[in-house]
């Protein structure tokens, strides 16, 4: 099934809703979907949204393909690779929501350049997200949350929506939970749920 689900970066339609086999009114992106629990949950909960899932690791891609087949989901497409090449070719202002859930924090200083969220990465997201679009980032690593806020708070294209601590301590209403979140809770780390709006 992967050839049917895989996105061809050389032939993207100007209107991303045409990527999907069913009629959708919005397109969302999940970066690094892991075991695909959240990707599948959102696709089932929001049948009129088309979801693009990016994941470079084969095990996660296999889980997503199996879930799509088992549940007969026509509103999921996959990019089984790093998200950055996809971001370079997506049409401007084409995404209504982006999820980055428990990204690898690359905690060692020599690996810092591998961290996903940065000003440059947010620049790429800003180009492909339409005004009013939502960016959700979850992490259980306080240092990574600080990194995200350091990049996002001064960014001209994004506004952090939190007005009180419960806004980032409480999961989103449509949050299904993930195995990464469960591991963090087992190990005594409190996840943070950061929401930004594309201005």
> HSE-up of 178 (CA within 13 Å, CB side)?
29
> HSE-up of 117 (CA within 13 Å, CB side)?
28
Which residue blocks in the chain are alpha helix, DSSP H? 2-5, 37-45, 58-71, 83-89, 119-128, 142-152, 165-169, 179-186
What is the distance between the alpha carbons of residues 109 and 15, in angstroms, rounded to a whole number?
40
What is the distance between the alpha carbons of residues 4 and 173, in angstroms, rounded to a whole number?
32
Chain CA centroid to CA 31, Å: 4
**What is the arrangement of strands in the sheet containing 26-31, beginning at the earlier edge strand?**
76-79, 49-54, 26-31, 95-101, 129-139, 192-198, 158-160
- Backbone φ and ψ for 114, nearest 5 degrees, come out as -85, -10
> Does the annotation count 104 as an active-site position?
yes
CA distances from 97 to 49, 62, 109, 184 (A): 10, 24, 31, 25
What is the distance between the alpha carbons of residues 33 and 45, in angstroms, rounded to a whole number?
16
**Active-site choice (8, 59, 104, 174):** 104
Question: Which residues have a catalytic role annotated?
Answer: 104
């Amino acid at each position: 099934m992967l050839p049917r689900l895989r996105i061809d970066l050389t032939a993207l339609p100007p209107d991303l809703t045409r990527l999907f086999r069913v009629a959708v009114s919005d397109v969302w992106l999940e970066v690094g979907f892991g075991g695909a629990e959240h990707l599948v949950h959102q696709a089932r909960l929001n049948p009129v949204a088309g979801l693009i899932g990016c994941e470079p690791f084969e095990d996660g891609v296999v889980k997503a393909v199996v879930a799509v087949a088992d549940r007969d989901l026509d509103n999921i497409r996959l990019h089984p690779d790093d998200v950055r090449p996809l971001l370079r070719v997506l049409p401007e202002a084409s995404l209504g929501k982006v999820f980055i859930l428990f990204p690898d924090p690359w905690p060692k200083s020599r690996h810092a350049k591998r961290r996903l969220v940065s000003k440059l990465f947010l620049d790429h997201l800003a180009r492909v997200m339409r005004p009013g679009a939502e960016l959700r980032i979850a992490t259980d690593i306080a240092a990574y949350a600080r990194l995200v806020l350091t990049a996002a708070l001064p960014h001209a294209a994004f506004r952090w929506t939190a007005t009180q601590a419960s806004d980032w301590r409480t999961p989103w209403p449509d949050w299904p939970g993930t195995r990464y979140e469960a591991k963090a809770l087992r190990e005594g780390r409190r996840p943070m749920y950061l929401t930004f709006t594309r201005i």
